[in-house]
Structure formats: structure tokens, C-alpha cells
Amino acid sequence: MKSKPTKHIFVCTNLRAGESKSCGNKGLKIRTQLVRLLSNTPQKDHIRVNKSGCLGLCKSGPCMVIYPQKVWYEKIKIKDCENIFNKSVIDNDIIEELEVPDKRWNK
């Protein structure tokens, strides 16, 4: 029997119509890469990588959030996935250059 996940990663895959910036397909590719990385680890039954709707950071996407740590990342590129997975998902560390600054939430 699988155990209850202890960590959730939500990657925005929201696609806005028109020319508005959104995470959309880039977010979907990032999620796919994180799922691929997770599938090769013993933690695969304890971590979930989910698609999410809009996380409110469209202009600086693709973005994601990792719970229960409440770590928010923005401007993610495919090349960042392995670093995010190893440092943040597995080691519970923060990648400062990708982290959404607290001041963005205190407006």
C-alpha cells in the first residue's frame, strides 16, 4: 500500500488566451521533467508533482510552489529542473536566485 505523500510540488500550467504571458506549455514541460526525475528515486511514493492552475505570477513564469516548505520559484527553465529537484525537493534547500522574494507578497 502506498503511503500518504509528504511533499507536493505544484507547477503552473495555466495557458492564457491571446498574447498575455502565462506558464502554459513551458510549465507542462517543467512538470514532465520533474516527474521523470522523481520516477528514478526511492522517494517516488512520497512526493507528488501536480499541474496547477494560475499561481498568480504570470509575468514571471513559469512558476511553482513546493509544500509543506512553502517555497515559491519563478522564471524556471528546463535546465533548472535537476537543481530544483535535488536541492529543494530532496534536500529541502532553497535556490535563492529562483525564489520569489517575500516583498512580492507584501504589497
Model confidence band, residue 103 (pLDDT cutoffs 50, 70, 90): low
CA neighbor of 85 nearest in space, from 20, 22, 35, 42: 35
Q: Name the residue ranges covered by the structural domains of the chain.
A: 7-102
Largest CA distance in the chain: 46
Average pLDDT over residues 66-79: 95
- Convert the pLDDT of each residue in 23-67 to its tens digit: 888 999 999 999 999 998 998 889 999 999 988 887 888 999 999
- The pLDDT value recorded for residue 20 is 66
Three-class HEC string of 7-67: EEEEEECCCCCCCCCCCHHHHHHHHHHHHHHHHCCHHHHCEEEEEECCCCCHHHCCCEEEE
CATH architecture designation of domain 7-102: 3-Layer(aba) Sandwich (3.40)
- Convert the pLDDT of each residue in 81-97 to its tens digit: 999 999 999 999 999 99
- The pLDDT value recorded for residue 19 is 65
Q: pLDDT higher for 44 or 102?
A: 44
End-to-end CA separation in angstroms for the chain:
45
